[in-house]
Amino acid sequence: MSALAPKAVTDAVGGPAQELSDASMVYNINMLFVALLAIYTIIRLPRLFSLLSIPWEWKNGHILYYTPYRPNRRIVQAMHSAYPPPKDNQTDESHTLYSHAHHVQRLTEKGAPVTMNPPSHIPACIKPLRPILTPLRARIAPGFSVAQLLVMSMYFYSLLYAAFYRSNIFTDSARTAWICISQLPFVFIFAQKNNVLGFILGYGYEKLNFFHRFVGRLVVLAANIHALHYFYKWSLKGTFTQSIKLPFAIWGIVTITCFNMIVFFSTQYWRQRAYNLFLATHIIGFIVIMPALYMHKPATLPYTFACIALYAFDHVARLVKSRLAVAHIRPLPELDLTRVEIPTINAGWRAGQHVRLRVISVKMGWLGWAEVHPFTIASVAESGPEGMVLMCKRAGGWTRKLHEIAKSGGYEEGGIGGREVRVVVEGPYGGPQHTVFSSFSAAVFVAGGSGITFALSAIQDLVQKDLRGASRVKIIELIWIVPNPACLAPVLPMLSMLVQQSVFTPLRISVFYTRAPTGKQPAFFAAASASPFADSPPSPPHPASRSGSASQSQYQRLSAQISNLSSSAHQPTHFPPGLTLAPGKPTLLKFIEHAINHAINMGNSNPKDVDEALNLTGVIVGVCGPVGLADDVAAAVSGVDPLRRDQVGGVELHEEVFGW
Q: How confident is the model at residue 72 (pLDDT cuts 50, 70, 90)?
A: low
2-14 mean pLDDT? 40
Whether residue 343 lies inside any domain: the answer is yes
The reported pLDDT for the residue numbered 486 is 82
Taking residue 274's Cβ as centre, other Cβ atoms within 10 Å add up to 13
**Backbone phi, then psi, for 325, in 5-degree steps?**
-150, 170
* pLDDT tens digits along 216-230: 999 999 999 999 989
Q: Does the global pTM surpass 0.95?
A: no
Taking residue 316's Cβ as centre, other Cβ atoms within 10 Å add up to 11
The residue among 411, 438, 446 whose CA lies nearest residue 590 is 446
* pLDDT tens digits along 485-532: 888 888 888 888 898 888 888 899 999 998 876 666 665 666 555 556
* Strands (E) located in 350-403: 354-360, 373-376, 388-393
CATH of the domain at 456: 3.40.50.80
Same domain, 444 and 590: yes
The reported pLDDT for the residue numbered 14 is 46
Partnered with residue 358 across adjacent β-strands are 424
Using the predicted structure, report yes or no on whether residue 611 has a pLDDT greater than 50. no
User: Which one of 431, 462, 492 terminates a domain?
Assistant: 431
Which is more confident, 539 or 418? 418
Q: What percent of the chain has pLDDT over 90?
A: 48
Same domain, 157 and 231: yes
Same domain, 447 and 592: yes
Alpha carbons 529 and 91: distance in angstroms, whole number: 11
Q: Which of 309-323, 367-381, 400-414 has the highest mean pLDDT?
A: 309-323
Helices 146-164 and 205-237 sit at what angle, rounded to 10 degrees?
A: 30
Domain count of the chain?
3
Partnered with residue 338 across adjacent β-strands are 331, 392
Mention every residue, 6+ apart, whose C-beta is less than 8 A from residue 308: 290
234-246 mean pLDDT? 90
Same domain, 325 and 446: no
Per-chain mean pLDDT for the chain: 81
* pLDDT tens digits along 562-578: 334 334 344 455 667 78
* pLDDT tens digits along 455-475: 999 999 999 999 888 899 999
Which is more confident, 447 or 609? 447
Alpha carbons 428 and 348: distance in angstroms, whole number: 8
Same domain, 331 and 402: yes
Whether residue 276 lies inside any domain: the answer is yes
Alpha carbons 399 and 275: distance in angstroms, whole number: 13
Q: Which residues of 481-513 are buried (b: 16+ CB within 10 A; e: fewer)?
A: bbebbbbbbbbbbbbbbbbbbbbbbbbbbbbbb
Q: How confident is the model at residue 413 (pLDDT cuts 50, 70, 90)?
A: very low
12-27 mean pLDDT? 64
User: Is residue 325 classed exposed, middle or buried when 0-12, 13-18 and 19+ CB atoms within 10 A define those classes?
Assistant: middle
Same domain, 587 and 652: yes
Taking residue 560's Cβ as centre, other Cβ atoms within 10 Å add up to 11
The reported pLDDT for the residue numbered 418 is 72
242-250 mean pLDDT? 93
Same domain, 646 and 512: yes
Same domain, 152 and 168: yes
The reported pLDDT for the residue numbered 345 is 95
Whether residue 568 lies inside any domain: the answer is no
Same domain, 253 and 359: no
388-406 mean pLDDT? 89
Whether residue 410 lies inside any domain: the answer is yes
User: Parallel, antiparallel, or unpaired: how do β-strands 337-342 and 322-332 relate?
Assistant: antiparallel
Partnered with residue 65 across adjacent β-strands are 347
The residue among 478, 476, 477 whose CA lies nearest residue 447 is 478
The residue among 68, 48, 66 whose CA lies nearest residue 58 is 48
Q: Is the dihedral of CA 108, 462, 103, 553 positive or negative?
A: negative
Whether residue 616 lies inside any domain: the answer is yes
The reported pLDDT for the residue numbered 632 is 95
- Domain, as residue range, for 377: 321-431
Same domain, 349 and 459: no
The reported pLDDT for the residue numbered 450 is 87
38-56 mean pLDDT? 88
Nearest-5° angle of CA 72, CA 548, CA 529? 85
Using the predicted structure, report yes or no on whether residue 348 has a pLDDT greater than 50. yes
User: Which one of 284, 318, 352 terminates a domain?
Assistant: 318
The sheet with strand 419-429 has its strands ordered as 373-376, 354-360, 419-429, 322-332, 337-342, 388-393
- HEC states along 410-468? CEECCEECCEEEEEEEEEEECCCCCCCHHHCCEEEEEEEHHHHHHHHHHHHHHHHHHHC
Q: Name the H helices within 502-615.
A: 548-560, 588-605
The reported pLDDT for the residue numbered 5 is 36
* Strands (E) located in 123-206: 139-141, 144-145
Partnered with residue 388 across adjacent β-strands are 342
Same domain, 367 and 486: no
* pLDDT tens digits along 96-105: 344 444 456 7
109-124 mean pLDDT? 82
Q: How confident is the model at residue 18 (pLDDT cuts 50, 70, 90)?
A: low
Q: How confident is the model at residue 660 (pLDDT cuts 50, 70, 90)?
A: low
Alpha carbons 133 and 150: distance in angstroms, whole number: 13
Same domain, 397 and 512: no
Whether residue 308 lies inside any domain: the answer is yes
Alpha carbons 640 and 653: distance in angstroms, whole number: 12
The reported pLDDT for the residue numbered 382 is 86
Q: How confident is the model at residue 628 (pLDDT cuts 50, 70, 90)?
A: very high
Whether residue 123 lies inside any domain: the answer is no
CATH of the domain at 386: 2.40.30.10
Partnered with residue 323 across adjacent β-strands are 425
The reported pLDDT for the residue numbered 320 is 95
Q: Name the H helices within 53-139.
A: 55-58, 73-82, 96-99, 130-137
**Backbone phi, then psi, for 256, in 5-degree steps?**
-65, -35
* pLDDT tens digits along 144-180: 999 999 999 999 999 999 998 888 877 788 899 999 9
Residue type for position 543: P
User: Which one of 253, 284, 318 terminates a domain?
Assistant: 318
530-541 mean pLDDT? 53
Mention every residue, 6+ apart, whose C-beta is less than 8 A from residue 294: 300, 301, 304
The reported pLDDT for the residue numbered 117 is 85
Q: Which of 361-365, 443-447, 543-547 has the lowest mean pLDDT?
A: 543-547
Q: Which one-letter DSSP state was computed for residue 613? A: -
Whether residue 643 lies inside any domain: the answer is yes
Please write down the long-range contacts of 363-370, taking CB distance under 8 Å and 24 or more positions apart: 363/401, 363/404, 363/405, 364/398, 364/401, 364/402, 364/405, 365/401, 367/276, 368/398, 368/401, 370/276
The reported pLDDT for the residue numbered 20 is 52
Using the predicted structure, report yes or no on whether residue 449 has a pLDDT greater than 60. yes
Is the bond preceding 428 in cis, omega lying within 30 degrees of 0? yes
* pLDDT tens digits along 279-324: 899 999 999 999 999 999 999 999 999 999 999 999 999 999 999 9
353-365 mean pLDDT? 91
